[in-house]
Chains A and B, each alone.
Chain A
Amino acid sequence: MTTNEHLTRIVIVGNGMVGHHFVEQLIQQSNEVYGKNQFHITVLSAEPRLAYDRVHLSEYFSGKTADELSLTSAEHYQELGVDFQVNARVDQIDKQAKMVTIESGAVFEYDKLILATGSFPFVPPIPGNDQPHCLVYRTIEDLEAISASAKVSKVGVVVGGGLLGLEAANALKEAGLKTHVVEFAPQLMAVQVDVSGGRVLKDKIEELGVEVHTQKATQSIEAGENSRYKMVFADGEILETDMILFSAGIRPQDKLAREFGIVIGERGGIVVNDHCLTSDPDIYAIGECALWNNFIFGLVAPGYTMARAAASNIVGGDVVFEGADMSTKLKLMGVEVGSIGDAHAREHGAQTYTYEDQVAGVYKKIVINAETNKLTGAVLVGDTGDYDTLLQYALNEIDLPEFPESLILPSFGDAAPTLGADALPETAMICSCHNVTKGDIIASLDGGACDLAEIKSCTKASTGCGGCAALLKSVTDSELEKRGVEVKKDICEHFAYSRQELYHMVQIGQIKTFDELLSKHGSGIGCEVCKPAAASILASIWNDFVLEKPHVTLQDTNDTYLANMQKNGTYSVVPRIAGGEITPDKLIVLGQVAKKYNLYTKVTGGQRIDLFGARVEQLPLIWEELIEAGFETGHAYAKSLRTVKSCVGSTWCRYGVQDSVGQAIDLENRYKGLRSPHKLKFAVSGCTRECAEAQSKDIGVIATENGWNLYVCGNGGMKPRHADLFATDLDTETLVKYIDRVLMFYVRTADRLQRTSVWMENMEGGLDYLKDVVINDSLGLGAELEQQMQHVVDTYQCEWKTAVTSEQSRKRFRQFVNSEKSDANIIFVEERDQIRPATEIEIDQILGVKKPVKAAATSINIVEVE
């Protein structure tokens, strides 16, 4: 290893979330202070991989791969100039010589050492706890072991009913196990919620089929009678199970520090000051291994703040760690839980208001100070809708309203007194994952950012846990409004409405034509923006023939001529080839038609065949022949379903587990013709090898042993986006139901020309919200969305078929009203045995000799028209 002499050597022990954040912070702060990276950084990771997102670890069970969870990569560290080693557990520190040794014996010298060793799961000292199928929940390897064990188990027990224990229980339940939670305390989540909240939580979780046993102390784990093991409790009761997952709390990983003379707290944890410095002036400790003010912070946001403070101290900055807010909001097995500040009302003089709705299973409590003017804590179970507002009251010490209970009482009609973004001070923390305050948002607006997306990309706000999305949006909108930027979504000067609003007007007002919409809600004659948008909305809702008189002049030229215009004014013809499957006979017809009209042919990126170079007056003739042979329009011109790509699947492929071609064809036939805010692309793969690249599509379907995994909102194109896993192991009926709902919800709510990927990125609540709407039917819209889709499916017509049989429509495909001639400017030359449009220079050459189509240019063949 080459160590540059001028650079300060930094060695980081542990590459967890916090250790990794430190690397990024140090480089960033160094660049800010010195204009370059002044440090030679070495990262030593005991795990077999670099940092990954432990917070979202459970998503590994719903299909996220280790790669998708990773926070960095070897290439990324190499680009940053960071040296690293995995499987490198540090087992010695020599404080005098300033070096550390890893298990293999390799030695690393440091100028500053950072301990970011995190914590380890506590396994209670119960006899029998070290047998196979007795596991913990902390690393990807742990999850692999749990998956393997779940495959050979029927019953699972989680020991510990805290936040992580419930998350683990959810994973076992999802894996199909009969699941129990065993808790020593009298209630669940004793740290975050109070006794009543715990009771409501327990009821809700039991409703979901997970059995909860509180006040149970396990005494031993013995061989079982019906299951693999038997847990024996202090009260004599027993519980049979095949596997046990310990989630009974975490302990700081301070072994190394302890053994090598760094001061440790009485009950563990490496003692640090506000700079995160330990008892040794050159050693820092950050994250879950660090003990600050006699407190361990078991959340990622405080760890990130520590990383910033330590990095700042090293570059000579002034960021310090002054404690952190431990409020949390989460959703466990679909049950919302929120906890803020002094949840247990332990502070002197604390008073509370509580609200409980046993019918719906909602419990809310707020805690206020002795002076009764500030909010100091809260507990929310079953409904965390008030969380953001309450948290801002607590964090920013905002004066309570006259009737504090109004903050948690349900509102009937009158809006609840939510805290407007304006009421927040500039110091208000909006995104705690990335330490973004309201002031930072204002600064980035001053610095030129002009919308939510830009604020997200320059401050990183809302790109961590995502919990701050709604608040971020309201602060951004209100700040934009203040500086006169109307946060208006008007689609153009003719309509002072967003696409979504227009959609509602058309639907509610039963509006059938653009003229009607314009006269009722707009002004002027419309333009190239609002006309196609309205045409698309009208088609999504009523699905009339797009070339019908009232609609035809609204369409973009491609839609009007049912073909894609090419650079020289000719068109391409793309028949539908559902799923990419085509018979030899049909292939021959395509060849014959292409030959007859001398069209350039090419296989597209969407698994079909494109015929280029058709003149406008040829389109109906070409289509007549194609329709005769059984083809229908491919909608390549429309904002609607394009293709459903497929791989060959189980019919032929030795790895396929389902008939992906059949599924692709069915899906393509169902959704063809659906007019949408932007084009839609699907793909179906026959197994996880994913040859159809479904994860880059708006709708991606991947076959599993048990059915189909559904992915949504992927995108190739200019800004690729990986699709999100939406639901797993669906049968075809449910798959179609979910796709119906997702697509119709998109059609209803997206902006004009917004692909599903961007729609998702801008959706408040993101993927979870969409799942809620579609899977849990949280808006009660499910049936209506399905019905609407069914209407579109039932009223499908091949537009080309309708067009060629209508005299009125055919008239539009004339080059001239007063002549049978064709456009003399369309000139082709030949290349690789097919036509292509002549270049400008070639055209000048050709037309220059005044013999438009027959003159020979140097070395190219001119192709005769007609």
Chain B
Amino acid sequence: MSENWINVCTSSDLVDNSGICALVNDEQIALFKICQGEEQFIYAVSNWDPIGKANVLYRGLVGSIMDEHFVASPLYKQRFKLSSGECVDDDSVKITVYPARITDQQVQLQIVS
């Protein structure tokens, strides 16, 4: 697997406990930052809501179920796990997740093509 990490935006563009959206190679990617106590988590998932069929996931609310972080679609409220992309409320759908990290104030994504 090639190590092609791409810079997407700076870490100050992220919003605590919420999402923003980046356009990477015409692909819409939702980025979330979750703060829990001292810890911080960065997640990147596809912005496309496969159930609501619109590019809206970054505008969803984030939360946890049994310590798993999720985003709830703003359209019909289905919850998607941020680490795996699985939908908690509907087994038949899944969203793409991308490896994400912060290096030198840069938010980086790994897009495997």
Residues in chain A within 8 A of chain B (CB atoms) = 493-494, 524-532, 552-558, 560-561, 565, 567-569, 616, 812, 814-819, 821, 823-826, 840
B42 contacts the other chain (CB 8 A): no
Contact status B65-A817, CB under 8 Å: no
Give the A-B contact count at a CB cut-off of 8 A.
99
Query: Which residues in B have their C-beta under 8 angstroms from that of A825?
Result: 54-55
Contact status A525-B54, CB under 8 Å: no
Candidates A493, A565, A821; contact of B59 at CB < 8 Å: A565
Candidates B17, B72, B74; contact of A525 at CB < 8 Å: B17
Query: Which residues in B have their C-beta under 8 angstroms from that of A529?
Result: 63
B1 contacts the other chain (CB 8 A): no
Nearest CB on B from A636, distance (A): 15
Candidates B22, B60, B67; contact of A557 at CB < 8 Å: B60
Instruction: Knowing A524-B67, A568-B54, A818-B9 are in contact, say whether A531-B34 is a contact too (CB < 8 A).
Output: no
7 pairs of residues in contact across A and B, judged by CB atoms under 8 Å:
A524-B63, A525-B36, A565-B59, A565-B74, A565-B75, A567-B54, A816-B23
Instruction: Knowing A553-B15, A817-B9 are in contact, say whether A531-B61 is a contact too (CB < 8 A).
Output: yes
Docked Cα-Cα span, A531 to B77, in Å, equals: 14
Smallest CB gap from B70: residue in A: A527
Instruction: Knowing A525-B69, A569-B55 are in contact, say whether A816-B64 is a contact too (CB < 8 A).
Output: no
Smallest CB gap from B54: residue in A: A569
Query: Which residues in B have their C-beta under 8 angstroms from that of A817?
Result: 8-9, 13, 20-22, 31
Interface majority SS (helix, strand, loop, mixed), chain A = loop
B62 contacts the other chain (CB 8 A): yes
Nearest CB on B from A813, distance (A): 10
Residues in chain B within 8 A of chain A (CB atoms) = 8-9, 13, 15-18, 20-24, 26, 28, 31, 34-36, 52-56, 59-67, 69-70, 72, 74-75, 77, 79
Candidates B23, B34, B64, B69; contact of A819 at CB < 8 Å: B23
Docked Cα-Cα span, A524 to B54, in Å, equals: 29
Docked Cα-Cα span, A823 to B23, in Å, equals: 9
Contact status B66-A493, CB under 8 Å: yes
Smallest CB gap from A556: residue in B: B61
Contact status B63-A525, CB under 8 Å: yes
Query: Which residues in A have their C-beta under 8 angstroms from that of B36?
Result: 524-525
Query: Which residues in A have their C-beta under 8 angstroms from that of B54?
Result: 567-569, 825-826
Docked Cα-Cα span, A524 to B9, in Å, equals: 28
Contact status A493-B65, CB under 8 Å: yes
Candidates A527, A557, A565, A816; contact of B63 at CB < 8 Å: A527
Q: What are the 3 closest A-B residue pairs judged by CB atoms, nearest first?
A: A527-B63, A557-B74, A569-B54
Query: Which residues in A have their C-beta under 8 angstroms from that of B72?
Result: 527-528
Contact status B52-A567, CB under 8 Å: yes
Docked Cα-Cα span, A555 to B74, in Å, equals: 11
Instruction: Knowing A527-B64, A553-B18, A815-B21 are in contact, say whether A823-B8 is a contact too (CB < 8 A).
Output: no
Smallest CB gap from B69: residue in A: A525
Contact status A526-B23, CB under 8 Å: no
Candidates A528, A569, A816, A818; contact of B77 at CB < 8 Å: A528
Contact status B9-A561, CB under 8 Å: no
Query: Which residues in A have their C-beta under 8 angstroms from that of B79?
Result: 528
Query: Which residues in B have their C-beta under 8 angstroms from that of A556?
Result: 61, 74
Query: Which residues in A have their C-beta under 8 angstroms from that of B9?
Result: 817-818
Docked Cα-Cα span, A812 to B15, in Å, equals: 9
Query: Which residues in B have their C-beta under 8 angstroms from that of A555?
Result: 61
Nearest CB on B from A613, distance (A): 13
A527-B64, A569-B54 given; 20 more Cβ-contact pairs under 8 Å: A494-B63, A524-B36, A525-B36, A528-B79, A553-B16, A553-B61, A556-B74, A557-B56, A561-B59, A565-B74, A567-B75, A569-B75, A814-B20, A814-B21, A816-B21, A817-B8, A818-B22, A818-B24, A819-B22, A826-B54
Contact status A525-B55, CB under 8 Å: no
Contact status A560-B55, CB under 8 Å: no
Docked Cα-Cα span, A402 to B60, in Å, equals: 61
Query: Which residues in B have their C-beta under 8 angstroms from that of A823?
Result: 28, 55
Contact status A532-B61, CB under 8 Å: yes
Query: Which residues in B have their C-beta under 8 angstroms from that of A528?
Result: 60-61, 63, 72, 77, 79
Contact status B56-A569, CB under 8 Å: yes
Docked Cα-Cα span, A493 to B66, in Å, equals: 8
Nearest CB on A from B23, distance (A): 4
Query: Which residues in A have their C-beta under 8 angstroms from that of B65?
Result: 493, 527
Smallest CB gap from A816: residue in B: B23
Smallest CB gap from A527: residue in B: B63
Instruction: Knowing A565-B75, A818-B22, A821-B23 are in contact, say whether A557-B64 is a contact too (CB < 8 A).
Output: no
Docked Cα-Cα span, A815 to B53, in Å, equals: 17
Query: Which residues in B have their C-beta under 8 angstroms from that of A553?
Result: 15-18, 61-62
Contact status A525-B64, CB under 8 Å: yes
Query: Which residues in A have their C-beta under 8 angstroms from that of B69?
Result: 525
